Chain A
Amino acid sequence: MVPVEYYVGLSAILFTIGTLGVLTRRNAIIIFMSIELMLNSANLLFVAFARTFEALSGQIFVFFVMTVAAAEVAVGLALIVAVFRTKDTINIDEVSSLRG
């Protein structure tokens, strides 16, 4: 079998790419997708360690993370649509004031 360190490394690379997406992109939707990528890399690690320690609870937690991500996406995209209606843009540099 492939040692679990390889999975840890892959997960770290994917997480870093997600972080870079959050830090460098300006499109709110792409930032959101990068967050999904980071969640996904954590999920991969959960499953890899669940296999390593033969603990099925890790897979249950992945299930919960996916559910929370689905809820987060629904609310987050609703927020993006609401911001677009009031500001006519979703470029986060132009959405910098707290006033509606």
Chain B
Amino acid sequence: MAPELIVFLVLGAVAVGSALGMLMSRNAVYSAMFLIMNFATVAVFYLVLGAPFIAMVQVTVYAGAIMVLFLFVIMLLGAEHLERRTGLDWQKPIAVVLGLVLLVEAGYVLASGQASLPAIAIPEAGYGAPAQIGELLFSQYLLPFEVTSVLLLAAMIGAIVITRRDAPKRKKN
């Protein structure tokens, strides 16, 4: 077997296993940890696919910042264990069946070869390097980049406004 295939299979098994762990574990903190593991594995996939900048962003932004935020909220709310039985238990088997249908459908489209895909190319040197990404980001995609900053500002203000406790009412004079 080619070494690349072995790397792919091992990493793929870890990715799918950690995703299943996130789905199955009863404790929300364990779920978050499994998800961090999944993100790290996908970051390695990005490295293999020639995207070092995206891999670094994945580790710092996703596995770092976003998941820390998740863990903060889980521990703040004390929501580690929260699976009381409710009246909607019949929904679970239907969900599993529908999920399998989705997977089979995707697998069928892939296996039937209607969407024939070219082989992965060997890129030129420097492909995906931060310099190239930056050049593209600040020339062709300058406007979306700036819009993103406005979006982040709006999200920040929105989060502050939503979580703010109502200020104590002042006396009316």
Main secondary structure of the interface of A (DSSP, over half): helix
Please name all residues of chain A whose beta carbon is closer than 8 Å to the beta carbon of B106 when the two chains form the complex.
Answer: 8-9, 12, 15-16
Q: For the complex formed, measure the closest distance between the CB of B124 and the CB atoms of chain A, giving whole angstroms.
A: 8
Q: Name A's B-contacting residues (CB within 8 A).
A: 1-10, 12-21, 23-27, 29-30, 32-34, 36-37, 40, 43-44, 47-48, 50-54, 56-57, 59-60, 62-64, 66-75, 77-82, 84, 89-91, 93-94
Q: How far is the CA of A66 from the CA of B152 in the complex (A)?
A: 11
Q: How far is the CA of A23 from the CA of B53 in the complex (A)?
A: 33
* Chain A, residue nearest B147 (CB): A64
Q: Name B's A-contacting residues (CB within 8 A).
A: 4-5, 8, 12, 15-16, 19-20, 22-23, 28, 31-32, 35, 38-39, 42, 45-46, 49-51, 53-54, 57-58, 61-62, 65-66, 69-70, 73-74, 76-77, 79, 82-84, 86-88, 91-92, 95-96, 98-100, 102-103, 106-107, 110, 117-124, 127-128, 132-133, 136-137, 140-141, 144, 148, 151-152, 154-156, 158-160, 162-163
A24 touches B92 (CB 8 A): yes
Please name all residues of chain B whose beta carbon is closer than 8 Å to the beta carbon of A47 when the two chains form the complex.
Answer: 45-46, 49, 51, 54
* Chain A, residue nearest B153 (CB): A71
B99 touches A20 (CB 8 A): yes
B42 touches A43 (CB 8 A): yes
Please name all residues of chain B whose beta carbon is closer than 8 Å to the beta carbon of A89 when the two chains form the complex.
Answer: 82
A71 touches B152 (CB 8 A): yes
Please name all residues of chain B whose beta carbon is closer than 8 Å to the beta carbon of A7 when the two chains form the complex.
Answer: 45, 49
B70 touches A91 (CB 8 A): no
Q: How far is the CA of A63 from the CA of B50 in the complex (A)?
A: 15
Q: For the complex formed, measure the closest distance between the CB of A67 and the CB atoms of chain B, giving whole angstroms.
A: 5
A sample of 27 cross-chain residue pairs with beta-carbon separation below 8 angstroms, ordered by A number, consists of A1-B120, A1-B122, A2-B4, A2-B8, A9-B107, A12-B103, A15-B102, A17-B19, A17-B22, A20-B23, A26-B82, A29-B70, A33-B70, A37-B35, A40-B39, A40-B62, A50-B51, A52-B119, A53-B118, A54-B124, A56-B133, A59-B54, A70-B61, A77-B73, A78-B159, A79-B162, A84-B79
